[in-house]
Structure 1
Amino acid sequence: MEPYKTVDIAFGRGHLTVGLPERAEATVIRKATLPKLADQTGAIHAAFDNPIDAPPLATLAQGRKSACILICDITRPVPNRLFLRPMIETMMAAGIPKDGITVLIATGLHRPNEGVEMAELVGDPWVLDNVRVENHFAMRDEDHVDLGMTATRETPVRIDRRFVEADLRIATGLVEPHFMAGWSGGRKVVAPGVAGHETIRTFHSARFMEDPLAVQCNLVGNPLHEEQLEIVRTLGEIYALNTVIDEDRDLVHVTFGEIIASHLAAVEFIQDVTRIKVPRRFKTVVTSSAGYPLDKTYYQTVKGMVTPLDILEPGGTLIIASACSEGMGSKEFRDAQTRLVELGPDRFLATLTAKTLAEVDEWQTEMQLKPMRIGRVMLYTSGLDAEERRITAVEVIGDLDAAVAESIQRHDDPHVAIIPEGPYVVPVHEAA
């Protein structure tokens, strides 16, 4: 056991140093080390030229009059600055007019990204100067095409018209563990990314959320994944660019091609790197919300609470650090958190189980019930006002080091698990 005295964990745009007491025995859980790409731009061009189950991008673009490129919103650190311009230039060289190309921000039900934030998200002024960059608005029913319902679970399928009606449709994103859909990226950028509110609220209803197979790193039998696959197959021809990044947020892997096949290829690359086997459970677990941009809100912080639950000993203490620089999140999420505090976990859950459509953002409060069922949850944050801290429904702490030391003493167990990158790493308990 390496004698750690301090460990840096992701926090805001930097790191937070966790000091450990003398008797602590720390297990630091990270992704496996990924080799850096010598030429990131070259890797992107190679992916365009050698796609999976599809012709090269230059060939795909020939004869098309329009294209819609989906990008994730500001909550995902996708390296858009590396691939958007070469993707668009390839389309234009093949004959698609630049006024026929739209970059559509797949916000789901998140707020739009405008102004300076949009510029940061896109990462390349050339893109903003040459093509339309627009936000998806899930609540605008008139912006969506009604494609009926899925056959298996009768999910209403409403997808943004700009994507449905484009001649060439490409989703781009980051492949990382997702605490409900198994893995992010690919089909998830389409639905819920540019889906209407009824589609999204169905995905987040209790019948999906409480399904034991709707968990991180699992696609087999995952109801969310299966619905997403049915939706993209209903839409027809869609392609995807899938990226994988390391702890430094550098691009280390990229695939391009048919949306399902190229996404699965990226998952195959990343799954053993991200899903880390741990031979024991811990009574003290310290994690993060992965730093900026994921820890901008308490809403996103819940993901970091759910991901390490497989290694948290029942009755143990989960300590999470998140800047929450933008506060709680949406008004709807605040309302759900207030109801959780007023009703308590059991009565709150009972209000959800009969609903076909979840209320906007209350699903994240439902996910918070999972760590609360297992143990004690503590939050260290530099954001949130007094009322916001009250409605987190967890214990807000002012001294991270003291909380770790106190947990070790309370449980009379020096073993501590520390996950510096939060929900980007999935620890899995497998006894040796």
Structure 2
Amino acid sequence: MQIEMAYGQKGMMLDVPAGIETTIIRRKPLPVPDDPARVIEMVLANPISAAPLSEAARGAKTACILICDITRPVPNRLFLRPVIEQLTAAGVPLSGITVLVATGLHRPNLDDELAELVGDRWVLENVTCVNHYAREDADHVMLGTTPGRGVPVGIDKRFVEADIRIATGLVEPHFMAGYSGGRKVIAPGVAHHSTIRTFHSARFMEDPAASSCNLDNNPLHEEQLEIVRMLGGTIYGLNTVLDEHRNLIFASFGEIIESHMAAVDFVRDSIEVRVPRKFGLVVTSAAGYPLDRTYYQTVKGMVTPIDILAEGGTLMIVSECGEGIGSEEFRAAQQRLVTLGPDAFLKTLLKKDFADIDEWQTEMQLKPMRLGTIVLVAPELSEQDRAVTGVECHDDLNTAVRLVLARTGLRELAVVPEGPYVVPFYEAAE
């Protein structure tokens, strides 16, 4: 049996040996609209729990539109110009409009990559398109601390001070915050490093509720909502949902919290997949381009299927990792993991109020490591980078599958071709 796995921009074929029982876990298909531009037009005309943008923008002089960074395949080309045209029709000058890339603590997206991200030459040529830099103190307004957990809140002043504020993004499963998009594009998207490092500390990450597809009592989600409330006023959200072929299948627009929940409610039944058993071998992906460009982002694909991984089992993930390991801070965290071991590494995290930058991704890697063995298939990853992954590495997917089957004696496996965009949950058959 051949199964195409998400890998880079071209995919990779998994050839399951004959006689191996294979369970393929995919999202439930949803209809694809014939005219995605019309979808955007309709949601802009019918905002959820907010005034039409054409009304809200009257008299406004400035607007800030947040977009996700290059790690998310958001179809910005579909909606940025229509949104900007609505703003200018209401009297907002082009010179007062900023498209701000919500990088969080990721690297900036510049030059050709920025052009790819924005996806519309007209937008690049007519409004300011810039990156957020979380470590630049002067770029932020400090708003105090959240009432519940005391998170220090700093947000990019270009967003805080704009007359019209719009956060755009992709609603998909997120292995810490439950679902991406909406409030998450603000924090961590355009938050100060102290904000990000606080709610990515171990006291948040080790909370069982900080998990894929869960918003109930999720500490990250709750703090993100608090930050939205602290900002005050109306913040708009434009949310998109894509299918596994990156077609737009849904969009919502309106008040940021309500419009985000509309997108979450739409997509839940499709991507949360109930599975009646656990498996000794789960083969998955890091979701392909652009998410699988680094090992840092690959960790997401290791975490999302662990509910169906049997204790002591093997989780195998394929990822291009064409940009290598990720940031130098992440490399340092991974090196500490390899040197100290998982238990000692976690103990160092539990002592901190502020997480070191990017070490939270290493902490998330501990979750599948507690269950079993991780096998990484990343033929483009260098030996130097492999040495700090802390996992078993291979060049060829099919060779790696055969090796695991041979050493475990397993005659069945589960395959999640789309990686972290689909989340399987174990639910015992009645």
Aligned equivalents of 2:55 and 2:43: distance in 1?
A: 13
Q: 1:349 aligned to 340, 346, 350, which one?
A: 346
1:334 counterpart = 2:348: no
Q: 2:134 aligned to 134, 138, 142, which one?
A: 138
Aligned equivalents of 1:318 and 1:186: distance in 2?
A: 31
> Which residue does 2:171 correspond to in 1?
175
Q: 1:243 aligned to 240, 243, 247, which one?
A: 240
Aligned residue type for 1:26? T
> Which residue does 2:112 correspond to in 1?
116
Aligned equivalents of 2:192 and 2:403: distance in 1?
A: 46
Aligned equivalents of 2:12 and 2:53: distance in 1?
A: 42
Aligned equivalents of 2:166 and 2:248: distance in 1?
A: 19
Q: 1:385 aligned to 382, 385, 391, which one?
A: 382
Aligned residue type for 1:201? R
Kept in 2, the 8 Å contact 1:285–1:319? The answer is yes
CA deviation digits over 1:82-136, x for unaligned, max 9? Answer: 0000100111011000000000000000000000000000000000010000100
CA deviation digits over 1:250-282, x for unaligned, max 9? Answer: 110000000000000100000110100011100
Aligned equivalents of 2:152 and 2:86: distance in 1?
A: 35
> Which residue does 1:35 correspond to in 2?
31
> Which residue does 1:397 correspond to in 2?
394
Aligned equivalents of 1:135 and 1:352: distance in 2?
A: 29
Aligned equivalents of 2:296 and 2:320: distance in 1?
A: 12
> Which residue does 2:424 correspond to in 1?
427
Aligned equivalents of 2:396 and 2:216: distance in 1?
A: 41
What percent of counterpart residues are identical? Answer: 62
Q: 1:151 aligned to 111, 125, 147, which one?
A: 147
Offset of residue 369 of structure 1? 0.7
Unaligned runs of 5+ in 1: none
1:169-248 map, 5 Å: 169-236=165-232, 237-248=234-245
Q: How many residues are treated as equivalent by the alignment?
A: 428
Offset of residue 325 of structure 1? 0.5
> Which residue does 2:42 correspond to in 1?
46
Aligned equivalents of 2:223 and 2:197: distance in 1?
A: 13
> Which residue does 1:306 correspond to in 2?
303
Match of 2:43, SS state, is: helix
Aligned equivalents of 1:47 and 1:382: distance in 2?
A: 42
Aligned residue type for 2:340? L
Kept in 2, the 8 Å contact 1:280–1:430? The answer is yes
1:404-419 map, 5 Å: 404-419=401-416
Aligned residue type for 2:389? T
Kept in 1, the 8 Å contact 2:273–2:422? The answer is yes
CA deviation digits over 1:361-401, x for unaligned, max 9? Answer: 00000101111110010000122211111110000012211
Q: 1:127 aligned to 106, 123, 126, which one?
A: 123
Kept in 2, the 8 Å contact 1:286–1:320? The answer is yes
Q: 2:260 aligned to 224, 247, 263, which one?
A: 263
Aligned equivalents of 1:331 and 1:177: distance in 2?
A: 26
Aligned equivalents of 1:172 and 1:210: distance in 2?
A: 29
Aligned equivalents of 1:429 and 1:312: distance in 2?
A: 9
Aligned equivalents of 1:422 and 1:104: distance in 2?
A: 28
1:373 counterpart = 2:378: no
Kept in 2, the 8 Å contact 1:325–1:382? The answer is no
For the aligned residue pairs, the C-alpha RMSD in angstroms reads 0.7
Using the size of structure 2 for normalisation, the TM-score is 0.99
> Which residue does 2:69 correspond to in 1?
73
Aligned residue type for 1:262? S
Aligned equivalents of 1:389 and 1:408: distance in 2?
A: 23
CA deviation digits over 1:292-312, x for unaligned, max 9? Answer: 000000000000000000000
Match of 1:11, SS state, is: coil
Kept in 2, the 8 Å contact 1:24–1:408? The answer is no
Kept in 1, the 8 Å contact 2:379–2:396? The answer is no
Offset of residue 410 of structure 1? 2.9
Using the size of structure 1 for normalisation, the TM-score is 0.98
Aligned equivalents of 1:60 and 1:269: distance in 2?
A: 26
Aligned equivalents of 2:52 and 2:157: distance in 1?
A: 26
Aligned residue type for 1:40? P
Offset of residue 58 of structure 1? 1.5
> Which residue does 2:280 correspond to in 1?
283
Aligned residue type for 2:414? A
Aligned equivalents of 2:377 and 2:383: distance in 1?
A: 13
Kept in 2, the 8 Å contact 1:239–1:259? The answer is yes
> Which residue does 1:318 correspond to in 2?
315
1:12 counterpart = 2:2: no
